Structure 1
Amino acid sequence: MTASGRLPRGGSRPPAAQRGWEHRLLAALAYPANLAFVGVAALLLAVPIVTILPASIAAGRALRAWLQDGETAVFTATFREFGATWRRTLPLGVGSVVVVFLLLVDSVFLGQQLSAAEAGASPVALILAAAAVPVAVAVTLLLLALPVAGAKSPDATARQWLVESGYLIARRPIQALLLLATVAFFVLTCYLLPTLVPFFGLSLPVYLAIVTLGREKPDTSASAPNATGGSTPSLEQP
């Protein structure tokens, strides 16, 4: 063993404080790397279009396993979770594609009606446009919350995930609206920088939903001293 590879006298390693910046740097780099791995895996699974939502739910379960349990093989975990859930999530995926398609068609039709300002917009078109906005917001929030519900209740049914998604949104409406605004900004960023889509197009919105809607309320028992004199960290903190 060379002199540079020898341990200090007594066999002790350098204090953690001397190695802390390296650990913090590696931990910081792990976030974009793991998000990119999950994003690529989810994109491959979402190629048939109707599997976009199932792939997002699988990505949410893989991300939660990484954030909560320290599972670092997130790429393979996304495929594994997709295999475990696709039978439950495929009907949701098909239904979500149909609903989003109808909303898009409705938006295009109403946009054409409202753009005819010279002839005067139809009152019916104005009413339908006003009604379509909250419906689109509710559908978007529900689609964002479904991966969170699928991660929090891995053994639940698709119907139970839908109910839990609604509960997650109703429990934190302000956070849900902030999540929607953040995701909308991210979509605009992806429009300007489309190279982000293959890596973060699905993973980042799911990650934002998990950290926004998936955290439990603070529990005093979670920070109580344990038997070793330390404190038990909350499992919901990424």
Structure 2
Amino acid sequence: MAGGRRWSGRLLRGLEFVAYPATAGAAGALLAVGIVTWLPALAATARGLQDWRTDGETRLFRAVLRAFARYRRTLLPHSATGLAAAVLLAANLYFLSGRTGLAAFALFFGQVGILALFVLYHLAVAVCAARDPDGTPARWRRAALAFAFGAPSRGLGLLATAAAAPILTVVLPLGPILFGASIPLLYGLYLADRLDADTAPRARTRQGSTR
């Protein structure tokens, strides 16, 4: 009997790791329908996931909507600039995909590399904004640069998750929409927690050595 209760409890906890990211992803996708609001929506999704992870928030749809009101004001200019850059990258890729020759090949994959860095950086911005909701966009951008590019393994892991999530969830109804952003953001929040755990002992050691 006790074993059955333990099994059912584990099953429920496992289902939470599907249901809550899906709920946050649905809210974020709805908010991103405005297109230019994509970055505030991404940050709001990350904030909802962070509330769930740290405070046990279960009404994630409402939490994401609530966070969006804050991030829309602060991140909309960055979001508009990023959208223009993404459109330019897409146009370049479309143009180069129809060209032949070594130069076109090199330029095409150069643009792919820039696109990968673009995705990685903006995922990091969303993660940093979610963990520091009272910060400023400038502080989030500085933190995102350090987080995304400070360690190759961390950046590659986050980028690989961003690439794999839509592919692995395509078999689910609306899978890429529900999980394409929420899973990479959830992994990014986990990586940020690990980074804090790794740097805290070093900071204490430095403080002790200066006394």
Q: Distance in 2 between matches of 1:55 and 1:188?
A: 21
Q: Find 1:184's aligned residue among 152, 155, 163.
A: 163
Q: Distance in 2 between matches of 1:23 and 1:194?
A: 26
Q: Give unmatched runs, 5+ long, in structure 2.
A: 202-211
Q: Deviations over 1:169-209 (max 9, x none)?
A: 12332121122122212233455656213422332232222
Q: Distance in 2 between matches of 1:18 and 1:219?
A: 38
Q: Which position in structure 2 is the counterpart of 1:52?
A: 38
Cα 1:113–1:144 change in 2 (3 A) is: same
Query: SS in structure 2 opposite 1:113?
Result: coil
Q: CA deviation at 1:217?
A: 4.1
Q: Greater Rg, structure 1 or structure 2?
A: 1
**What is the correspondence of 1:82-121 to structure 2 with a 5 Å cutoff?**
82-114=68-100, 121=101
Q: Which position in structure 2 is the counterpart of 1:145?
A: 124
**What is the correspondence of 1:140-179 to structure 2 with a 5 Å cutoff?**
140-179=119-158
Q: Deviations over 1:12-51 (max 9, x none)?
A: xx98x77433332221111111111111111111111111
Instruction: Provide the TM-score with structure 2 as the length reference.
Output: 0.83
Identity across matched positions, percent: 33
Q: Find 1:133's aligned residue among 112, 120, 131.
A: 112
2:120 counterpart letter in structure 1: L
Q: Whose helix fraction is larger, Structure 1's or Structure 2's?
A: 2
Query: SS in structure 1 opposite 2:61?
Result: helix
Instruction: Provide the TM-score with structure 1 as the length reference.
Output: 0.74
Q: Which position in structure 2 is the counterpart of 1:61?
A: 47
Q: Which position in structure 1 is the counterpart of 2:26?
A: 40
